Structure 1
Amino acid sequence: MNQTELNKNKQLPNKEERHKLFGSVTPGPRTKPVEKSKMADLQNSKKDFLFDIDMVGISNVKHPITIPSQLTPEIQTTIGTFSFGSSISQGSKGTNMSRFTEQLDHYHRQGFAVDIETLKKFTEELAGRLNESDSEIEVSFPWFFERKGPYSDLAGMNYADATIKVLYDAETGFDVTVTLTGKITTLCPCSKEISEYSAHNQRGNVTMSVKLTEDFDEQTIDWKAALLEAAESNASARIHPVLKRPDEKMVTEQAYENPRFVEDIVRLVAADLYEYDFVEAFSVECRNEESIHLHDAVASLNYDKKSEAQ
């Protein structure tokens, strides 16, 4: 009798006995209450717990969201990665973690369009749900936009990584920071200068974090498109999903005509962000994935417009 025939004739114990074989035990007596009103609530204990806590909450929460965009596609469904939090005082033991996800589900059932005004409302309501004077939310997501070849006009989808962070405080109001990482092409000025022909180029990653002014109007300005333009317009060339040969000729020639070091990129992008009226403060980083080295080249700068008035 072969192994297949032996397996067909194997007599297995029933599922309950199999579970016992692998460690399951009979449930013990249940003595603690099952009604919520009768259960101990340790997190709501009130004593002197030594220190205030700046932030407590949950992170790495993935959830479907809808993103509005002024670039095509104007409405897109994507996955958001959330974190939520609030402070707690020295007299409170902890926070109620389930209230964060309860709030998220409430907004999801209404159709969660992630824009700044919605997130402001979310944080203010979340603070009330937590019985705290402040709360915060951060959501990161891939934002897609259509990009056409410069000659063929053939379209495809590019994306950038976007983040919105909203802090709410009952006394001071809202603080909103947005971040975008876009990809660009850079061509090395030094390589172009010293070589008889050609020059090495590489993909660069430009990360811009911007504190928005209080009067920022999302209906007028799409911050995602504005930050993307600040990165791409100062690059050696833009990244394209579809390039036919005439497109490729145009893009590579454009890169050769606009060589950029990482230092050049951060300064040029900073100049654009400085001129944006809706930007209060910003940071810029360019990280090049070097094509002739194993290391990355990186440069960064920070600037606060308020410092000019001091």
Structure 2
Amino acid sequence: MEKHVDLIEKKQLPHKEERLKLFGSVKPGPKTKPVDKCQMTDIQNMKKDFLFELDAVGIDRVKHPITVTSQLSPQEQTTVAQFTFTSSIKQTSKGTNMSRFMEQLQAYHERGFVANFNSLKHFAKELSERLNQRDATISVKFPWFYERRGPASRLAGLNHADITMTVNYDQKEGYTLSAGMTVQVTTLCPCSKEISEYSAHNQRGNVTMEISFIDDNIDDYMNWKEELLEAAESNASARLHPVLKRPDEKMVTEQAYENPRFVEDMVRLVAADLYELDYIRKFKVSCRNEESIHMHDAIASLTYDKLKEKNA
């Protein structure tokens, strides 16, 4: 067999250094400024009257791996979270040291960062001290996976809900804790069921719950993720399943037909469950139905503060 002959004539390219120079690279110039950190000017730490205090300054959209624990299987999982770190800034301070946020995140990562309220409380307080500010806030968003089995076949797969956890630490006020969850469910239209000779249209419902905790005693609400998930799913027409065989599908569609829900119904029913959870002080429930026979979505929301009820 004849040896392959490359008939393509190769370009004669200039050397790498000449190519870089062609596209704008220049030789390093003389260096006159200090290289030791202790001798460098720190503009962010300048102290003057800078006109206004800032509510929050920091970094956002920081992606990082975390560990999540759960009462549901899988009880420990690794996922990717998105972080926001902020603190307030006094009128006499020019700015913050952005690198300190990431330095602390790396330190927690090396020790094994488990995303629970206990670790987030420690993180926020330590961040406040590191920044030499009176407060600090950490917010983390991540997908939380949980096992779901088909109602008849019992075949398992993983569903997920989107979680948000936020901790604010203030030297005078202490800790403020809040959380959020978005869960996808099935909703079947009550009006369609009522007026049609047979069948009824259904849709994918997105239930979002935002809650404020009554205090920072985390031992009183270790199962908050599971309880918010149950509040959304148990009030829907039907739950979503990653694996459905025909006997499962029959059960799920019949259940949906037996439990029709408007978006208005959803937010009221979920709100009732959240109202009964003693560790929740304030909540907002919203639902967005992705309509199957309309071009638009249907939406509803409800906000309730138990503290205002108590003071009324």
CA deviation after TM superposition for structure 1 residue 179, in Å: 0.3
- 1:40-119 aligned within 5 A: 40-119=41-120
Give runs of aligned pairs for residues 147-226 of structure 1, distance below 5 A. 147-214=148-215, 216-218=217-219, 221-226=222-227
Identity between Structure 1 and Structure 2 (%): 65
Change over 3 Å in CA distance of 1:78–1:223 after alignment to 2 = same
SS at match of 1:309: helix
Distance 2:299 2:74 in 1: 32
Query: Is the Cα–Cα contact under 8 Å of residues 79 and 141 in structure 1 kept in the other structure?
Result: yes
* 1:71-118 CA-partner distances (Å, limit 9, x unpaired): 000000000100000001000000000000011001001000010010
Letter of the structure 1 residue corresponding to residue 83 of structure 2: F
Matched-pair contact (CA < 8 Å) for 2:152–2:248: yes
SS in structure 1 at match of 2:264: helix
Q: Which residue of 2 aligns with 1:18?
A: 19
Report the 3-state secondary structure (helix = DSSP H, G, I; strand = E; otherwise coil) of the residue aligned with 2:65.
strand
- Distance in 2, matches of 1:147 and 1:233, equals 14
Name the CA distance, whole Å, in 1 between partners of 2:215 and 2:310: 17
Q: Distance in 2 between matches of 1:32 and 1:250?
A: 73
Displacement after TM superposition at 1:258 (Å): 0.4
Shift of 1:27: 1.3
Distance across 2 between alignment mates of 1:256 and 1:73 = 31
- 1:7 equivalent in structure 2: 9
1:143 maps to: 144
Provide the TM-score with structure 2 as the length reference. Answer: 0.96
* TM-score normalised per structure 1: 0.97
List per-residue Cα deviations over 1:241-260 (Å, max 9, x = no partner): 01111100000000000000
Amino acid paired to 2:243: V
**Counterpart residue identity of residue 9, structure 2:** N
Q: Distance in 2 between matches of 1:309 and 1:76?
A: 39
Runs of 4+ aligned structure 1 residues displaced above 6 Å come to none
Structure 1 contact 262–288 (Cα < 8 Å) conserved: yes
2:288–2:300: 8 Å Cα contact kept in structure 1? Answer: yes
User: Matches of 1:225 and 1:153 in 2, distance apart?
Assistant: 20
1:213 Cα deviation from its structure 2 partner: 2.0
Task: Note the alpha carbon deviations across 1:206-225, whole angstroms, 9 max, x for none.
Answer: 00011112154357632111
- Residue in 1 that maps onto 2:133: 132
Question: Structure 1 unaligned runs (5+)?
Answer: none
Structure 1 residues 64, 219: CA separation in 2 closer, same or farther (over 3 Å shift)? farther
In the alignment of these two chains, the number of paired residues is 306
CA distance in 1, matches of 2:293, 2:166: 37
1:6-44: CA deviation from partner (whole Å, max 9, x where unpaired): 533x22211001101111111111111111111110000
* Residue pair 1:116, 1:218 contacting (<8 A) in 2 also: no
**1:220-235 to 2 correspondences below 5 Å:** 221-235=222-236
State how far apart, in whole Å, the 2-side matches of 1:14 and 1:186 are: 65
